[in-house]
Copies of this chain bind each other. A is one copy, B any other.
Amino acid sequence: MTVNNQMTKIIGVDIGGTSIKFALIDTSRGIERKWLIPTNISEKGIYISDEICSSICETLGEKGLTKVAGIGIGVPGSISSDGKTVVRAVNLDWKEVPLKNIIENKLGIDVCLLNDANAAALGEMWKGAAQGKRNLLFVTLGTGVGGGIVLNGEVLNGCHSAGGEIGHIPVRSDENRLCGCGGRNCLETFASANGLSLSMRKKLEEVNEMWSEITPPIIFEQAAKKDGLALQVLDDFTELLGQALAGIMNTIDVEEIIVGGGLSEAGSDLLAPLTEKIDCYVFPQIKHQFSVKKALLGNEAGIYGAAYAYLSMKQLN
Chain A residues at the B interface, C-beta cutoff of 8 Å? 78, 87-88, 135, 147, 149, 151, 156-166, 168-173, 181-183, 240, 243-244, 246-255, 281-286, 289-290
User: Contacts of A158 on B, CB cut-off 8 Å?
Assistant: 135, 252-254
Name which residue of chain B comes closest to A249, CB basis: B162
Complex Cα spacing A149 to B254, Å: 14
Chain B residues whose C-beta falls within 8 Å of the C-beta of A284 in the assembled complex: 181-182
User: Which residues of B are found within 8 Å of A157, using beta-carbon distances?
Assistant: 253
Q: How far is the CA of A160 from the CA of B78 in the complex (A)?
A: 30
A253 to B182, CA, bound (A): 18
Q: Among A135, A151, A157, A250, find the residue whose CB has the most chain B CB atoms closer than 10 A.
A: A250
B173 touches A172 (CB 8 A): yes
A72 → chain B closest CB, angstroms: 21
Q: Which of B160, B166, B244, B285 contacts A162 (CB 8 A)?
A: B285
Is the pair B251, A285 in contact by a Cβ cutoff of 8 Å?
A: no
CB distance from A288 to the nearest CB of B (A): 11
Taking each of A172, A244, A254, A255, which has the highest tally of chain B beta carbons within 10 Å of its own beta carbon?
A: A172
**Cβ of A249: which chain B residues have Cβ within 8 Å of it?**
162
Closest to A158 in B: B253
Contact A169 B285 (CB under 8 A): no
20 A–B contacts, CB within 8 A, in A order = A147-B251, A151-B156, A159-B253, A159-B254, A159-B289, A162-B250, A162-B253, A162-B282, A162-B285, A163-B253, A165-B253, A168-B250, A169-B247, A169-B251, A171-B172, A172-B173, A172-B240, A244-B247, A247-B247, A251-B252
Q: Is there contact, CB below 8 Å, between B243 and A165?
A: no
Chain B, residue nearest A78 (CB): B285
B251 and A281 within 8 A (CB): no
Minimum Cβ distance to chain B for residue A121 (Å): 13
Q: Which single residue of chain B is at the shortest CB-CB distance from A254?
A: B159
Check A156 against B252 for contact (C-beta < 8 Å): yes
Instruction: Determine the chain B residues whose CB is within 8 A of the CB of A252 once the complex forms.
Output: 149, 156, 158, 163, 251-252
Given contacts A250-B162, A252-B163, A254-B159, contact A170 B285 (CB under 8 A): no
Q: Taking CB as reference atom, which chain B residue is nearest A253?
A: B158
A183→B277 CA distance, assembly (Å): 12
Nearest residue, chain B, Cβ from A182? B284
Q: Which B residues touch A173, using CB under 8 A?
A: 172
* Contact A253–B161 (Cβ < 8 Å): yes
List of B residues within 8 angstroms of A254 by Cβ? 158-159
Which of B156, B248, B250, B255 makes the CB contact (< 8 A) with A253? Answer: B156
Nearest-Cβ distance from residue A254 to partner chain B, whole angstroms: 6
With both chains docked as a complex, state the minimum distance between the C-beta of A41 and any C-beta of chain B, in angstroms: 21
Whether A246 lies near B172 (C-beta < 8 A) is no
Given A251-B149, A251-B251, also A281-B161 (CB < 8 A)? no
Structural contact, B240 and A165, CB atoms closer than 8 A: no
The answer for the CA separation of A289 and B159 in the assembled complex, in Å, is 9
Cβ 8 A contact of A283, one of B165, B281, B285: B165
